[in-house]
Structure formats: C-alpha cells, structure tokens
Amino acid sequence: MNSPAPADAHAIALVMIVRNEARCLARCLDSVRAHVDDMLVLDTGSTDDTAAIAERHGARVVHFKWVDDFSAARNAALALVDAPWRLVLDADEWIDSGAEDLGALRSQAPEFIGLLSVDSQLRDESGGVQHAPSWLPRLLPRGVSYAGRIHEQPLSALPRRRLDLRIGHDGYLPEHLTPKRGRNRTLLSAALAEHPDDAYWRYQLGKDFEVHGEFAQALPNYEAAWACGESSASWRHDLLLRLLFLYERPWHGE
C-alpha cells in the first residue's frame, strides 16, 4: 500500500498531508475524485477518524511520523505517487470550479507549475464572510519538491502558469483556526530563529497574527517583510494588499 501507484503518461494524482481533519476531508476528496487517477493521503498522526474517512472516500492512506516540518511531510507524500502531474490540496480546501482544466492537462507535458486561485473565506468584524483569493502553486510536475519548515514552497525554476481552477478554503474562519494556532506560530518562530532576516517568514508570521485578529502584531512583521523583501517575490502583491488593509484600520496610528 506504500508503493507509488502505477502511472501513465497522462495521469494526475491528488497528494495531501493531513492530521485530525475529520471535519472536512470527505468534502475535499469528493470534489476531486472524478478528476484524478490516484488520491494519496499522508496521515501525520490523526487521533480522530481521518484515516478511515480517507479510505472510505477512495484514497490510499499512508502513515508518517510528524517531524515539525511541512516540507518533509509534503516530500514524503510526493514520493508515494508516480503521476506526471500532482495536485496538492489541504483537507480544508476543495475544488470549487474549473475542474475541466485538470482534464486539459492530460494532453500537456508537465513542464510548468500550475498556479491555482485559492479563495479563502474570512469573517469580518460584523460576522459576515468575506473572500480573499490568492494565486498559489498547487499543481506540480513530477520531480518538483518542497522547501520550508512551514508555508512551504516548491523549489523549481520551471515557469508558472495560471489555471482556471478555483479552490475553496474555509480554514481561516475563526472556528477552524484555533486548533492550529499554537503549532503554526511555533514553527514560524523556529523558522525565523534560523533565518532572522528572511522577508518571507516575516510575511508569513504577519499573516498568522492577522488571521487571528492580532493586527498590531501583524503590522511590524509586514513592514519588515516589505523593507527587505525582493520586489519580484511572488507574494509581494499580497503583502501590499495586507499592508494597505492594516493602514486603513481605525486603530492604526493610535
């Protein structure tokens, strides 16, 4: 069960890492199953029904000891599939629209990284749900791996291409954030301790503060990321939008 599934020249595999995702895993798998040839779920230590749900909904399940490193888990999962194309999703995401673009990939050589629009749901101060889309590299050719302890990124010089595949994401809603809060903050702090001048980690720590409503802590991290980050960084546009949002908040300047 741990061997890569046989692949043909046009195969697409869903590759996931999960832990205690019984709330939403079935939704993700059901949205993808008809559009891929293989679904691999790497469980990093669930204590709920995550593994059983994954198997019931058609996924192969492999267990992996968590080592406080998302890239290590992602790369272990990628090594368990042999498809030329790998769709990387989290359990709190799902295909919202544009799944036909996956089918179109079957006639294309895996020579680029696909950027998908991930539409994150956020709750505003009145309790309503707002949407914040971001273009993220989630469709990878075989051979591309990840780097980064957290908020890991694929390492590749391949060109990146936007696809008309929209992914929904509800993991930033307050009711779903709390269980992951301490883990992510700890890993981000560790990454910054290793690379204190890294603009990307400052940006990600700012986001972690922001999604938990800690805006006064988010702002200096965003400002530091803006000051030392490369102007060509793929995340810089999102950083600018987040800075403008915080500068416009009523508390700013108090």
Question: How far is it, in rounded angstroms, from Cα 183 to Cα 46?
Answer: 15
1 pLDDT band, cuts 50/70/90, is very low
pLDDT at site 8:
66
Q: How many CB atoms neighbour CB 224 within 10 A?
A: 17
What is the percent of the chain where pLDDT is above 90?
58
- Domains of the chain, residue spans: 12-169, 195-247
* pLDDT average, residue stretch 186-213: 87
Instruction: Kindly report, residue by residue over 85-143, the tens digit of the pLDDT.
Output: 999 999 999 999 999 889 889 889 999 999 999 988 776 666 777 777 889 999 999 99
What is the percent of the chain where pLDDT is above 70?
89
Locate 191 and state its tokens: 């990454």
Q: Which residue has the higher pLDDT, 119 or 181?
A: 119
Please say if the pLDDT value at position 254 is more than 70: no
Question: How far is it, in rounded angstroms, from Cα 149 to Cα 193?
Answer: 12
Residue type, 152: E
Quickly list DSSP for 224-246: HHHHHS-TT-TTHHHHHHHHHHH
Distances (CA, A) of 75 to 38, 171, 200: 17, 22, 20
pLDDT at site 43:
98
2 pLDDT band, cuts 50/70/90, is low
Q: What average pLDDT does the chain have? A: 88
Please say if the pLDDT value at position 174 is more than 80: no
Please say if the pLDDT value at position 12 is more than 50: yes
SS3 149: coil
DSSP state of 254: -
* pLDDT average, residue stretch 161-172: 91
pLDDT at site 213:
81
Helix residue spans in 99-214 (DSSP H): 100-105, 174-194, 199-211
pLDDT at site 125:
65
> In which region does residue 92 sit, left (phi positive, over 0), alpha (psi from -120 to 50) or beta (all else)?
alpha
pLDDT at site 167:
97
SS3 205: helix
pLDDT at site 168:
95
pLDDT at site 134:
85
CA dihedral 173, 36, 103, 7 (to 10 degrees): 140
Q: Which of 36-45, 112-121, 173-182, 207-216 has the lowest mean pLDDT?
A: 173-182
* pLDDT average, residue stretch 13-34: 97
Question: How far is it, in rounded angstroms, from Cα 117 to Cα 208?
Answer: 20
pLDDT at site 226:
95
CB 48 within 8 A of CB 108: no
pLDDT at site 184:
79
Q: How many CB atoms neighbour CB 217 within 10 A?
A: 14
187 pLDDT band, cuts 50/70/90, is confident
Superfamily per CATH, domain 12-169: Spore Coat Polysaccharide Biosynthesis Protein SpsA; Chain A (3.90.550.10)
Please say if the pLDDT value at position 41 is more than 60: yes
DSSP state of 45: S
